């Protein structure tokens, strides 16, 4: 078994649980929306946050594959992987409320959790970039114009999504975050 395969077993398990967490939240929200007695207002913001977290998880999963030849097995690497993917799981678990109460407004819920969820995602991005910068081969990839532009756009949109106060501005910021990932998957 190669070092990456060993590490990826833990990594894949925890990231898979994170994906399942967001998808389960989507399912709970749809079920609550279909129950006429609940009066759930689904809105756009929490589903867009869920889509953003899903797309970011997929992006990170792909980034792990790109860096596979640089992964070694050690206690500190296992700990780092567990902390990193654990933070992803925390963010994923917060995207949708665990219990959806009667008359819940998921746009209001978004405004309560967005800074935590997006802040965790931003911190993970910084950790990833710091690690990439420490590996010369990967650092060279980061210096190309496209990754620089896409990263600056990502960070700017994440900060905007955490900072804006109006629902309309938040929809634009979250929609742009999702569109950034979709376009990058389709075009690059």
Q: Structural domain boundaries of the chain?
A: 3-187
Q: What is the pLDDT of residue 22?
A: 97
- Residues 178-183 have a mean pLDDT of 96
- Most confident range, picked from 11-20, 36-45, 173-182: 173-182
Beta carbons within 10 angstroms of residue 92's beta carbon: 27
- Residues 156-181 have a mean pLDDT of 98
Q: Is the pLDDT confidence value at 8 over 80?
A: no
Higher per-residue pLDDT: 166 or 10:
166
Q: What is the mean pLDDT of the chain?
A: 91
For residue 2, what are the CA distances in angstroms to 6, 12, 69, 76, 78? Answer: 6, 15, 10, 17, 15
Is 153 in a helix, a strand, or coil? helix
Q: Is the pLDDT confidence value at 24 over 90?
A: yes
pLDDT digits (tens, 9 = 90+) for 150-165: 999 999 999 999 999 9
Q: Is the pLDDT confidence value at 1 over 80?
A: no
Q: Which residues pair with 41 in a beta bridge?
A: 105
- Residues 166-178 have a mean pLDDT of 98
Q: What is the pLDDT of residue 181?
A: 95
pLDDT digits (tens, 9 = 90+) for 48-107: 999 999 999 999 888 888 888 887 888 888 888 889 999 999 999 999 999 887 778 899
Full-prediction pTM beyond 0.95?
no
Angle at 76 between CA 71 and CA 82, to 5 degrees: 85
Q: Hey, CA dihedral for 31, 36, 40, 44, is it positive or negative?
A: positive
Q: What is the pLDDT of residue 69?
A: 82
Q: What is the pLDDT of residue 142?
A: 85
Q: What is the pLDDT of residue 104?
A: 82
Q: Which residues pair with 105 in a beta bridge?
A: 41
- Residues 117-144 have a mean pLDDT of 93
Both tokens of 14, joined, read 């925890």
Question: Among residues of the chain, what percentage have pLDDT more than 70?
Answer: 99
């Amino acid at each position: 078994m190669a070092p990456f395969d060993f590490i990826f077993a833990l990594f894949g398990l925890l990231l898979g649980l994170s994906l399942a967490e967001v998808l389960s939240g989507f399912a709970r929200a749809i079920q609550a929306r279909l129950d006429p007695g609940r009066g759930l207002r689904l809105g756009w913001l929490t589903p867009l946050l869920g889509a953003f977290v899903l797309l970011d998880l997929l992006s990170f999963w792909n980034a792990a594959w790109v860096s596979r030849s640089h992964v070694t097995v050690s206690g500190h690497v296992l700990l780092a992987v567990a902390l990193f993917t654990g933070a992803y799981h925390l963010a994923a678990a917060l995207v949708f409320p665990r219990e959806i109460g009667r008359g819940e407004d998921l746009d209001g819920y978004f405004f309560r959790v967005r800074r935590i969820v997006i802040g965790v995602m931003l911190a993970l991005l910084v950790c990833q970039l710091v690690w990439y910068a420490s590996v010369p081969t990967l650092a060279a990839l980061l210096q190309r114009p496209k990754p620089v532009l896409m990263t600056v756009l990502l960070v700017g949109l994440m900060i905007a999504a955490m900072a804006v106060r109006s629902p309309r501005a938040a929809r634009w910021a979250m929609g742009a975050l999702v569109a950034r990932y979709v376009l990058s998957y389709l075009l690059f």
